[in-house]
Amino acid sequence: MSLRGVIDQVRGREKTLTVYTDPETAIVSDLRAYFASQNVVVVEADADDRPEYAVLSDGEEYLAAVGIDALRALTDGSARTVGEDVSYSPLLEHLDRTTFTSYSHHQMVQASREIEDRAWRANDGRLHAGFQHLSKFRPQRETYTNLSRGGLDVHVYGTPDVDVAAPSGVTVHREDSLEIAATWFVVFDGGGDDHQASALLAEERHDGGYYGVWTYDAALVEEALDALDALEQSV
């Protein structure tokens, strides 16, 4: 199965984020804008005299709860760095197998950071990242050099539009293929722990947005890894 095949087989179930807050607060509209491209519906509820917070659910099943400050950090547009503690991680972890229809470049970077951070903390296993073109890897070279300094086996993919020297500890795959040129991905095998396995797979569309899947499902991550192995063997 190809990377595109993995994306196509996933259909996310709609989840509900109930936000308990003061009436007409801006955070609700910010969250609706943030999750507009995903299978997540945002519902507003009155917090009354309680601290503001939000609950993520799948039907009647409770998934996670986070405070209002975590939601502001999620939607404020600020970039995060690998190794930085973020309070909204419990929320993102439960958006398992969530498909999205139009992620912006910023949202893709934020999702990538979440997976890179898991790999950095595990310090073991395989991390694969596709940048479409190697010129897009250049700004991330330092990040991936740092990721490779421990026990991670780090692989980077891109079409060879520029000459990029491989950082120490990083295997650079120069793949001149349409699939690599169109697909942004970050796949971490979990380092032997299925609970840490995660993947972001997205195809760039003509409008500059990205369509794909962000998953913490170990079986789906394994399918993505198999697709990458098949791609390397075909070269």
**pLDDT one-digit tens code per residue, 27-53:** 898 898 888 767 788 999 988 888 899
Say whether pLDDT at 26 is over 90.
no
Measure the CA–CA gap between 63 and 171, rounded to whole angstroms. 37
Note the pLDDT of residue 49.
Answer: 82
Say whether pLDDT at 234 is over 70.
no
Note the pLDDT of residue 11.
Answer: 55
Per-residue model confidence as pLDDT tens digits over 126-157: 999 999 999 999 999 999 999 999 899 999 99
Note the pLDDT of residue 81.
Answer: 65
Measure the CA–CA gap between 1 and 227, rounded to whole angstroms. 6
Measure the CA–CA gap between 18 and 16, rounded to whole angstroms. 6
- Cα 221 to chain centroid distance, Å, stands at 12
**DSSP-H helix ranges across 89-217:** 89-93, 105-122, 134-137, 141-147, 178-182
Contact partners, residue 45, CB within 8 Å, separation at least 6 = 18, 19, 20, 21
The pLDDT confidence band at residue 165, using thresholds 50, 70 and 90, is confident
Quickly count: other Cβ atoms within 10 Å of residue 140's Cβ. Answer: 16
Measure the CA–CA gap between 4 and 203, rounded to whole angstroms. 7
191 vs 59 pLDDT, higher one = 191
Q: Which domain holds residue 203?
A: 3-234
Note the pLDDT of residue 80.
Answer: 62
* Tally of domains within the chain: 1
